[in-house]
Chains A and B, each alone.
Chain A
Amino acid sequence: MSKKIRNMTDSNMLLSITIIVFLLMYIGAIIFQGKGFTKPQTFFNILNANAGLIILACAESLVMITGGIDISVGGMTALVSMCCAVYLDHHNGNVPVSMLIALLIGLAYGLVQGYLVAYLDIQPFIVSLAGMFFARGMTTIVNSDPFNVVNEQFVALKLTRINVPGMGSINKKGVYVNAYVEIGVIIAILIVILMFVMLRWTKLGRSFYAVGGNKQSALMLGINVKKTKFLSHLICSVLAGIGGYVYFLHVGSGAVTNGQGAEMNAIASSIIGGTMLTGGVGNIIGSFIGVLSLATIQNIVATAGLGEAWWTGITIAAMLCLFLVIQSVLMARKKKMMKK
């Protein structure tokens, strides 16, 4: 066993911790909470409600792996959803164009932030902080009142459900209710797979790790560090645009408060998933599980009747601490072993 662990890469080891803890938590929830968690739909609802966050977490992990950070993704979610909502309702727009708007906002953000970070060498935290303020501000300028989108084409898309065969459950009246996921979940899972493949098996993907791990060595390997950094921010922002749209598709409303704290949740999910803030280490599947862990904890807290806002915050804090402690303890042990 110890040999196996010794041969594991850092990313893989952190990923296994994440998966084990998530499974333990979910099994714990089934044992202690009973009923609700045994229903597959509970799990699918977690996916439905967090499809947007899953995409944002993928985006966040990518910049974190490259050694950066992006705290503008939450603000972008608000901006994307408000712009699309206003376009769809006030200008009677159509859905494909609204998707294009979301992508364009992402692209614009990515170009500007990526350029500032990579070529002008400004701290990514500062750049994205400005980006966050700008996005929140712009959202208010576009429209300050929250409203629900009534555009028929959009509502039809929002209500589209993909039934999952054989996973339904029987309701109180003894009628079988189908289990379902929303379209956003399919998009989110596709993106997770795409990002996973890209990061693991493509030259570009490996160069993100290289740049995040050690810039100097990456440079010596002949990797264009600036370009890699630029691309990480570009992809991150485009993904944030898509994530924002998926989030918008789930909530169906434009509001300044949309995606509040989403950037922090995305960062937390990435960390839970084993991505390190120092860069070079991380795994997209981990971030995906990280989002699920975060959402499951929230669900447990809420259904235990501890719905007051502070409980959720406290449990997430406890969980983050836990993961960080486990990570650093195990990493330290591993390092010691490597020396032997």
Chain B
Amino acid sequence: MIFDKKISFSVVLVMTLLLLAGCSGFLLGQDQGGSSDKGQQDEKSNRSVTIGLSQIGSESDWRMASTRSVQEAFSPGRGYYLIFDDAQQKQENQIKAIREFIDQGVDYIILDPMVETGWDSVLSEAKEAGIPVIVYDRRVDVKDESLYTCWIGSDFLLEGRRACGWLSDYLKDRGINQDINIVNIQGTLGASAQIGRSEALDEAVLAHSKWKLLAKESGDYTSAKGKEVMNDMLRRYGGIINVVYAENDNMAYGVIDAIEAAGYTIGADITKGEILVLSFDASKAGMELALDGMIAVDTECNPLYGPKLVEIIEKLEAGEKVEKETFIEEDQFSAVGYINSVKVEDTSYPVTYLTPEIMKEREY
């Protein structure tokens, strides 16, 4: 008999511990937004929209800023309940997360796909379940385009064109008419950002008779590799390099290190033998370098997708149509001055003059 009591005590213990271990999790979750079940019982106006977000991981500042932006945009206060899943760099986990979202009957699925291929099967399950899928940042490559509702992301070619446009306008404005020797420190070969940004430079070199592309080599988006590649180029070409086109801020950081170590000066005054550095991303570290004039112009790769995604989902909720492909708005920052806007294919894009105040306002 004593043992029976002890057994029942143990069962109670099990249940309590279980509550502590697992349930505190979802009780917490419910506090945040109320489950979709409850939501549906309420008046329609009070209904909270449940959204499943499958994110690649948290490997870089850029990615984390992106996640934060989406999480903040879909806050419970605005009537959203966001289920976030971190796939830790594995497509398998993303597919699993999407299946879980489908099982939970979320209203929308937002996906930042790890790779382009391999989504057909799981996205058709989402379609079968009647859940719209919004893809952002990277693209998906599926046979049937109707498997996802829309895509939103960066226009990497435009980013490159704006950087080249700035350089061209700057040279014209300063009346610099000498030969311009450029080296291109590329991103990871095959990444869509690398393809777009490199293509824009190749285009610009063809369009300007004075521009010469001395070399291009991949720095894998890391500062260590960027530095290594730049060292190599300085050994090969030395003082004749005028412009370095670094395809992200991390590599620009390495490039600047290498140039300074080799005893050259960095700056916008090409006629005095200074080396001008162009960069992309506009991360915090990159912007600080731009403020010091080490990076002449930093073209933004905007991670703040939250507001734009809210806009899309509000449209879908209202039953409106959305564009299949939209590009996110991006800015360009420079502390060099002289140039206020850059023209690309008849559209004028502003260049923001970088001040410490602007730096403070930026979250990323």
Q: Which A residues contact B (CB, under 8 angstroms)?
A: 1-2, 5, 20-21, 24-25, 28, 32-37, 39, 41-42, 45, 48-49, 146, 148, 150, 158-159, 171-173, 175, 177, 250-253, 255, 257-258, 260, 297, 299-309, 311, 315, 318-319, 322, 326, 329-330, 333, 337
Q: Which B residues contact A (CB, under 8 angstroms)?
A: 1, 3-4, 6-7, 10-11, 13-15, 17-18, 20-23, 25-30, 32-33, 35-37, 53, 55, 58, 81-86, 88-92, 95-97, 99-101, 103-105, 115, 117-118, 121, 128-131
Q: Pick the contact of A28 from B11, B13, B23, B30 — CB < 8 Å?
A: B23
The answer for the CA separation of A2 and B3 in the assembled complex, in Å, is 7
The answer on a CB contact under 8 Å between A251 and B92 is yes
The answer on a CB contact under 8 Å between B117 and A309 is no
List chain A residues, Cβ under 8 A from B53: 307
Determine how close the nearest CB of chain B comes to the CB of A13; give it in whole angstroms.
11
Closest 8 pairs between A and B when the two form their complex, measured CB to CB: A307-B85, A172-B130, A304-B26, A304-B29, A36-B104, A318-B21, A148-B118, A42-B103
List chain A residues, Cβ under 8 A from B81: 305
The answer for the CA separation of A251 and B119 in the assembled complex, in Å, is 11
List chain B residues, Cβ under 8 A from A2: 1, 3-4
- By beta carbon, the residue of chain A nearest B2 is A2
Q: Pick the contact of A330 from B10, B22, B35, B95 — CB < 8 Å?
A: B10
The answer on a CB contact under 8 Å between B26 and A300 is yes
Looking at chain B's contact residues, the main secondary structure is: helix
Contacts known (A319-B21, A333-B3); A33 close to B26, Cβ less than 8 A:
yes
> What are 26 inter-chain pairs, A to B, with CB distance below 8 A?
A1-B7, A2-B4, A34-B35, A36-B100, A36-B104, A37-B103, A45-B100, A49-B99, A146-B115, A148-B118, A251-B95, A258-B92, A301-B22, A302-B100, A303-B101, A305-B82, A306-B28, A307-B83, A307-B84, A318-B22, A319-B21, A322-B17, A322-B18, A330-B10, A333-B6, A337-B3
List chain B residues, Cβ under 8 A from A307: 53, 55, 83-86, 97
The answer on a CB contact under 8 Å between A305 and B90 is no
- By beta carbon, the residue of chain B nearest A336 is B3
The answer on a CB contact under 8 Å between A300 and B3 is no
The answer on a CB contact under 8 Å between B3 and A5 is yes
Q: Pick the contact of B104 from A35, A49, A158 — CB < 8 Å?
A: A35
Determine how close the nearest CB of chain B comes to the CB of A156; give it in whole angstroms.
12
The answer on a CB contact under 8 Å between A300 and B25 is yes
The answer on a CB contact under 8 Å between B105 and A172 is yes
The answer for the CA separation of A150 and B116 in the assembled complex, in Å, is 13
Known: A172-B130, A304-B28. 18 other contacts (CB 8 A): A20-B14, A25-B18, A28-B23, A32-B23, A33-B35, A42-B103, A48-B99, A158-B121, A172-B105, A175-B130, A250-B92, A251-B91, A300-B26, A305-B84, A315-B21, A322-B14, A329-B10, A333-B6
Determine how close the nearest CB of chain A comes to the CB of B28; give it in whole angstroms.
7
Contacts known (A173-B130, A330-B10); A303 close to B104, Cβ less than 8 A:
yes
The answer for the CA separation of A287 and B208 in the assembled complex, in Å, is 68
The answer for the CA separation of A37 and B103 in the assembled complex, in Å, is 8
Determine how close the nearest CB of chain A comes to the CB of B121; give it in whole angstroms.
6
List chain A residues, Cβ under 8 A from B91: 146, 148, 251, 253
Determine how close the nearest CB of chain B comes to the CB of A100; give it in whole angstroms.
24
The answer on a CB contact under 8 Å between A39 and B103 is yes
* Highest count of chain A CB atoms <10 Å: which of B30, B90, B100: B100
Q: Pick the contact of B103 from A45, A146, A159, A311 — CB < 8 Å?
A: A45
List chain B residues, Cβ under 8 A from A318: 17, 20-22
Q: Pick the contact of A41 from B23, B30, B103 — CB < 8 Å?
A: B103
The answer on a CB contact under 8 Å between B29 and A322 is no
List chain A residues, Cβ under 8 A from B96: 49
The answer on a CB contact under 8 Å between A304 and B115 is no
The answer on a CB contact under 8 Å between B37 and A35 is yes
List chain A residues, Cβ under 8 A from B121: 158-159
List chain A residues, Cβ under 8 A from B58: 309
The answer for the CA separation of A45 and B101 in the assembled complex, in Å, is 11
The answer on a CB contact under 8 Å between A303 and B36 is no
The answer on a CB contact under 8 Å between B86 and A315 is no
Q: Pick the contact of B25 from A5, A175, A258, A304 — CB < 8 Å?
A: A304
The answer on a CB contact under 8 Å between B14 and A257 is no
List chain B residues, Cβ under 8 A from A306: 25, 28-29
Contacts known (A21-B14, A322-B21); A303 close to B100, Cβ less than 8 A:
yes
The answer for the CA separation of A241 and B230 in the assembled complex, in Å, is 46
List chain B residues, Cβ under 8 A from A329: 10
Determine how close the nearest CB of chain A comes to the CB of B149; give it in whole angstroms.
14
The answer on a CB contact under 8 Å between B27 and A32 is yes
List chain B residues, Cβ under 8 A from A173: 130
Contacts known (A49-B99, A148-B117); A36 close to B29, Cβ less than 8 A:
no
Q: Pick the contact of A308 from B4, B84, B129 — CB < 8 Å?
A: B84
Contacts known (A33-B26, A45-B103); A28 close to B6, Cβ less than 8 A:
no
List chain A residues, Cβ under 8 A from B85: 302, 307
Determine how close the nearest CB of chain A comes to the CB of B292; give it in whole angstroms.
35
